[in-house]
């Protein structure tokens, strides 16, 4: 049995990747600040960022609740016991990772730090390579046709 058949990952890549991406964005901002928008556009972007952060948190909570209701783990290092296809998982196969991207983008808008924008997309790409693709192999092994049918109905991100 290969490792991805037992569990998707040995290391919890997604949360670590987004924290590191945000830390690098802050460091880059301190070393090489990029210009940001002044008022009134900056104020509008701040408000959009606050709303986006709220939406990301709500998405995170809804996804975690859907996983808890189905009796499967939220930990990216543990084997999935059940395939979750309801709630936010009916729209995105990775709503928690989508919420991480949204929070990183929201940080750009709230704090006016442009470096968060590329950091969000780099973290999303690396998350896909180090976590999502392994999780997809794991879920295909665990749930077979049921997961492949789900993949056809629901997009990876949005």
Report how many domains make up the chain.
1
Give pLDDT, residue 1: 46
pLDDT score for 3: 53
Number of other residues whose CB lies within 10 A of the CB of residue 18: 22
Evaluate whether residue 141 is within a structural domain. Answer: yes
Q: Is 9 inside any structural domain?
A: no
Domain holding 116, by residue range, is 17-26+37-74+81-153
Determine, yes or no, domain membership for 158: no
- pLDDT at position 88: 98
Domain membership of residue 146 (yes or no) is yes
N-term to C-term CA, the chain = 32
Answer whether residue 7 is part of any domain.
Answer: no
**Rounded (10°) angle between helices 116-127 and 95-111:** 170
Answer whether residue 58 is part of any domain: yes
Tell me what pLDDT residue 7 has. 78
pTM comes to 0.93
* Residue 120 pLDDT: 98
Nearest CA among 14, 145, 148, 150 for reference residue 93? 150
Per-residue confidence in pLDDT tens, the chain, 158 aa: 455 557 788 888 999 999 999 999 999 999 999 999 999 999 999 999 999 999 999 999 999 999 999 999 998 889 999 999 999 999 999 999 999 999 999 999 999 999 999 999 999 999 999 999 999 999 999 999 999 999 999 999 99
For 84, the token pair is: 């979750």
147 belongs to a structural domain: yes
| Phi-psi region at 11: left, alpha or beta (left = phi > 0; alpha = psi -120 to 50) | beta
The answer to the question of residue 85 being in a domain is yes
Q: Please list, residue by residue across 106-119, b when 16 or more beta carbons sit within 10 angstroms of its beta carbon and e when fewer do.
A: bbbbbbbbbbbbbb
């Amino acid at each position: 049995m290969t490792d991805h058949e037992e569990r998707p990952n040995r290391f919890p890549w997604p949360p670590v990747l987004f924290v590191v991406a945000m830390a690098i964005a802050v460091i880059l901002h301190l070393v090489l600040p990029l210009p940001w928008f002044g008022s009134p556009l900056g104020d509008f972007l701040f408000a959009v960022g606050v709303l986006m952060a709220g939406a990301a948190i709500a998405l995170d909570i809804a996804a975690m609740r859907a996983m808890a209701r189905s009796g499967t783990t939220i930990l990216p290092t543990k084997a999935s016991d059940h395939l979750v296809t309801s709630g936010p998982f009916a729209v995105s196969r990775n709503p928690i990772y989508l919420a991480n991207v949204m929070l990183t983008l929201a940080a750009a808008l709230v704090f006016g730090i442009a470096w968060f924008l590329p950091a969000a997309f780099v973290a999303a790409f690396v998350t896909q390579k180090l976590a999502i693709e392994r999780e997809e192999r794991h879920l295909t092994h665990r749930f077979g046709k049921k997961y492949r049918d789900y993949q056809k109905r629901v997009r990876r991100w949005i």
